[in-house]
Structure 1
Amino acid sequence: MSLSTDNIQVKRAGEAVARKGSGSLDYSSIAPLFVLYDVAIILGLCVLVSFFTSERGDIAFEYTHPIGIGILAAVAFVLTTSSRGLYKPWRMVRIVEQTTAAVVNWIFAMLVVAAVIFCLKVGVSTSRLSTGILAVSGLVALPASRWAMAAWLRRAAATGAVRGRPTILIGDPSELEQVVPAHLLVRLGLKETRRFSLSAPNETETGALDASDADTLKSALQFARQNRIEEILLAMPWSNIERLEAVRSRLRALPIPVKLLPDEAVSELLDAPRVDFGASIAIEVQRAPLSRLELAQKRALDISVASVALTLLLPLFLVLAVAIKLDSRGPVIFRQRRNGFGGREFTIYKFRSMTVMEDGSKVVQAQRNDKRVTRIGRFLRASSLDELPQVLNVLFGHMSIVGPRPHAIAHDDAYSKLIAGYAFRHHVKPGITGWAQVQGLRGETAELEQMARRIEMDLWYINNWSILIDIKIILKTFIEVLRKDAY
């Protein structure tokens, strides 16, 4: 069977790449190389910043301390980046995503460094100037490195400097048109050496393979044997099961893996997270609880932010406590039972802003111009300062900085019967702030539709959680508090 012009061109391109790839880098080495690149940048920044900010009269420069900070920052940055799959080559070429993630992950890494310095009480021996310069320089160097990495990877893929596993494509003409050879290398680590086009399927005999198809498959098998092909990709409609099975049965003559690419009809669905499901796959329509690594990241962020906040705001706590005590009778701290992670009860802490301490089977939400709110309470609620003692709940492990807002147990019992999916909010720890709050859904929920909308936002947060989203919410919270008063 004669080759089409397209197949001849693909063959020549494959041969050219094969010639160039004799001394190329293996695809599986790209991710570890990028990890080492990040570690080298961070350690280099720490040493350089410490060297140039040290006393110029020093005869011997002490490298131990900056390297220790660099290792801590590098571990936090690399683990956060790796946990989100951002070292995968096909994601490294996404410049906007990589640049944003580099900024956020570096901020998180510096928060971890600050928390460790605070907890180990080594702040006296740590230069604030060098730490600040390190933080700023990292915000420039790491995003810039993403541009360099992406440019190198694209050029390496185009010139054959990256060596992928040799593969051939077999499929229907319409599906093969959607497959770009360069994408196979960057996304899957596969080097296309040739593609074999089957005839268009017969609408009346969808499972039939004609004589030309049989010849095409025979040529593909022969080519695979002679050229040490390591993998075969099929580009065919998933709905045509009989035709797929007919092709698959003929390819069993080769002891190499055969993989079916997603067709145009299901490609959008497969963008959702996939999980192993025996010999098949399953699409994740409801996210599992956070993994241990994700929980560790979230907890590290919680402790960092809560520790810094408690240290900086302690004088304000004392001022507000005195103001509350002078304004009205009652305790400074308001305590109420709430449901936390897994539905477990805990006691939430807030600055008292009302004359009542409701915590029973009936709890009335605060309303506009509510007479129960004290004079200082109006200020506290409008500025959200009444929520500040919840940093203690965060440090105790009852809450997180970011998560669905916990409701009074009486409200939980009522809404769980009225709103579908309400109980799913307890799959994560409740938060001081959350996705619903930064979307403007704060304060009273007088109508059921308002609460339903808030729950919708909470469920979106749980299903799409990432450390990046948490940091975004923390930053947006300050803007939201200034923009809209609560009551």
Structure 2
Amino acid sequence: MNSARRRFQFETAPSSGLANSPTQDRKWPVQYDSVELLAVLADFATIFTASLVAAFAHKLVFGAPQDISRLTGVALPMSVVFAAVFKSCNMYSPTALLNLRNQIRAVCAIWLGVFILFVATTYALHMEQDIRWDTALTFGAVGLVSLIAQRALLRDALRKGLSERRFSGRKIVLITDEHGQHLVNMLSDLGFFVEKHFTLPVFHSSQRRQEKLIEMIIDHTRETEVREIFFGVSLNHWSRLKRVVGALHVLPLRVRLVPTGASSELFCRPSTELGGARCVELHRGPLSPIDLLAKRALDICLSTIVLTVLAPLLLTVAAAIKLDSPGPVLFKQQRCGFNGRRFTIFKFRTMSVLEDGTSIVQATARDPRVTRLGGWLRRTSIDEIPQLLNVLEGSMSIVGPRPHAMAHDNEFNKAVRHYAYRRRVKPGLTGLAQIKGYRGPTPTPDSIEGRVEQDLFYIDNWSFGMDLMILAQTPLELIRGRNAF
């Protein structure tokens, strides 16, 4: 019996050391699994507190009390919308909370969108007398600062909890195959105390050895305070795993599987129910009908508003181009769009040439082909505004991978792997690559590879919240003016 136990099981060093470690007695009453829920509740509390601060600030400055019930009543739906969009972007997961830079970007973009919605709703319902504009601005500013500060505190607390193993957890039994040894330290970092670690017998082991393992697991869990059983195995062992799990049904414990090996990749992909079967999405196709409708509605509304508001500026620029140099006002060029379909892109003419053939030279700093007015138009990106006409006609979107000239498109397609994957969505006026610094010409292989990498990440991880975040950061990138010539 003792020799069999030595063959099938062993205690890991990290587990046995945790029992007497100083931090073991100072565990937080928080489990790693509940971090996401706590982050959502923290956002609700932060937004609600920001509404109270704005109301009391109005009273201190103006001497007249703001109707607190009105402002806090608005804070509740705002927090719901903010949390829903944030959740849809998967920004509440512990791994996402650890990335403070992305958290700040998402908070700024989503909070700005929610605040604009709040202001529009207030005036649409004629509530401006109940909620003064100065109080609303204070609420927006305090809410933004508070949400960012809260993200910094959450990031630091999460780091401390992981590094010092402060998260509370349960005593567990871990059964792994040859690929699951790393799970011992991972589960320990997340607060679980690995009471016993068993190794699944090899594939060709006898039935008696498997039964002996099951007997040892059951005996051990009944003699200790074990609360859960974890399997860290590859699905190549599925038949053996089912037999072991089936035998463990006699235990009133939760049994969980952490897939290892190549099969673990399947569990990272989205899945849906298809009749009585489970369907795993191996390759993300075009956006769903609802996603397409939401994105198209944003394209039409935003492009119509911008073209209407900037109409005087656009007419002035058109006249200035005509006076500055000979040639047409608009520059037209063939580009490759959604699913490889060609379309004609519109831009304000900024050069003395109209290249649209098999050989096109990208603009460079102090390019002699750029006109006097064209240099300013390119630096401010005003020359790109006519592409809103492409957005209205449906060949482009506000946000998406930037389209390249046909000559460059063919060249990049040969040089960069998966370059053609960019055509799975409509090209955009701005995109993730542009706010990440990959704006303007691509003179080196690294620059085009970096742009393609960002474009593919956008396509594979698209969400409405990500579009809002990119739109919010685009003006900041225009002000910085990186690679704009």
Residue 53 (structure 1) aligns with: 58
DSSP 3-state at the match of 1:254? helix
DSSP 3-state at the match of 1:234? strand
Equivalents in 2 of 1:74, 1:427: separation in Å? 34
Equivalents in 1 of 2:416, 2:399: separation in Å? 22
Write the mapping of 1:53-452 to structure 2, written as runs, cut at 5 A: 53=58, 61-63=66-68, 66-67=71-72, 70-71=75-76, 73-88=78-93, 90-91=94-95, 94-95=97-98, 97=99, 99-113=100-114, 115-116=116-117, 122=123, 125=128, 129-146=134-151, 148-149=153-154, 167-171=172-176, 175-176=180-181, 178-180=183-185, 183=188, 194-198=195-199, 207-208=204-205, 214-224=211-221, 232-235=229-232, 238=234, 245-246=239-240, 248-255=242-249, 259-263=256-260, 270=265, 273-276=268-271, 284=282, 286-290=283-287, 316-328=313-325, 332-335=329-332, 338-343=335-340, 348-354=345-351, 374-391=371-388, 393-394=390-391, 398-407=395-404, 421-435=418-432, 437=434, 439-440=437-438, 442-443=440-441
Structure 1 residue 261: Cα displacement? 3.1
Matched, 1:478 2:473: no
Contact 1:167–1:193 (Cα < 8 Å) also in 2: yes
Structure 1 residue 251: Cα displacement? 3.9
What residue ranges of structure 1 are gaps of 5+ in the alignment? 15-19
DSSP 3-state at the match of 1:404? coil
Contact 2:11–2:196 (Cα < 8 Å) also in 1: no
Q: Which stretch shows the higher mean deviation, 341-350 or 120-129? A: 120-129
DSSP 3-state at the match of 2:195? strand
Equivalents in 1 of 2:447, 2:11: separation in Å? 61
Please tell me the root mean square deviation across aligned C-alpha atoms, in Å.
5.7
Equivalents in 2 of 1:420, 1:159: separation in Å? 41
Residues 247-291 of structure 1: CA deviation (Å, up to 9, x unaligned): 65344223377554344x659x7499424499899695x544446
DSSP 3-state at the match of 1:432? strand
Equivalents in 2 of 1:483, 1:142: separation in Å? 29
Structure 1 residue 484: Cα displacement? 3.1
Instruction: Describe the shift of the 1:314–1:49 C-alpha distance in structure 2 as closer, same or farther (beyond 3 A).
Output: farther
Amino acid at match of 1:484: N
DSSP 3-state at the match of 1:194? strand
Amino acid at match of 1:45: A
Amino acid at match of 2:269: R
Equivalents in 1 of 2:45, 2:363: separation in Å? 56
Instruction: Describe the shift of the 1:307–1:472 C-alpha distance in structure 2 as closer, same or farther (beyond 3 A).
Output: same
Instruction: Describe the shift of the 1:403–1:477 C-alpha distance in structure 2 as closer, same or farther (beyond 3 A).
Output: farther
Contact 2:188–2:194 (Cα < 8 Å) also in 1: no
Amino acid at match of 1:320: V
Equivalents in 2 of 1:303, 1:53: separation in Å? 38
Equivalents in 2 of 1:436, 1:155: separation in Å? 34
Instruction: Describe the shift of the 1:377–1:104 C-alpha distance in structure 2 as closer, same or farther (beyond 3 A).
Output: closer
Structure 1 residue 427: Cα displacement? 1.8
Identity %: 30
Structure 1 residue 52: Cα displacement? 1.3
DSSP 3-state at the match of 1:168? strand
Structure 1 residue 103: Cα displacement? 1.9
Amino acid at match of 2:248: L
Structure 1 residue 218: Cα displacement? 0.5
Amino acid at match of 2:148: P
What residue ranges of structure 2 are gaps of 5+ in the alignment? 21-25
Equivalents in 2 of 1:450, 1:81: separation in Å? 30
Equivalents in 2 of 1:313, 1:232: separation in Å? 63
Residues 185-237 of structure 1: CA deviation (Å, up to 9, x unaligned): 56xxxx557324349x7xxx76326977754431212445687977532245x
Amino acid at match of 1:106: V
Contact 1:111–1:305 (Cα < 8 Å) also in 2: no
Q: Which stretch shows the higher mean deviation, 320-329 or 339-348? A: 339-348
Structure 1 residue 41: Cα displacement? 1.4
Equivalents in 1 of 2:445, 2:166: separation in Å? 60
Structure 1 residue 107: Cα displacement? 1.2
Contact 2:360–2:408 (Cα < 8 Å) also in 1: no
Structure 1 residue 83: Cα displacement? 1.7
Structure 1 residue 79: Cα displacement? 2.4
Residue 17 (structure 1) aligns with: none
Instruction: Give the TM-score normalised by structure 2.
Output: 0.68
Structure 1 residue 367: Cα displacement? 5.6
Contact 1:76–1:109 (Cα < 8 Å) also in 2: no
Amino acid at match of 1:470: I
Give the length in aligned residue pairs: 461
Contact 2:400–2:431 (Cα < 8 Å) also in 1: yes
Structure 1 residue 434: Cα displacement? 3.8
Structure 1 residue 470: Cα displacement? 2.9
Contact 1:337–1:345 (Cα < 8 Å) also in 2: yes
Instruction: Describe the shift of the 1:343–1:70 C-alpha distance in structure 2 as closer, same or farther (beyond 3 A).
Output: farther
Instruction: Give the TM-score normalised by structure 1.
Output: 0.67
Contact 1:11–1:194 (Cα < 8 Å) also in 2: no
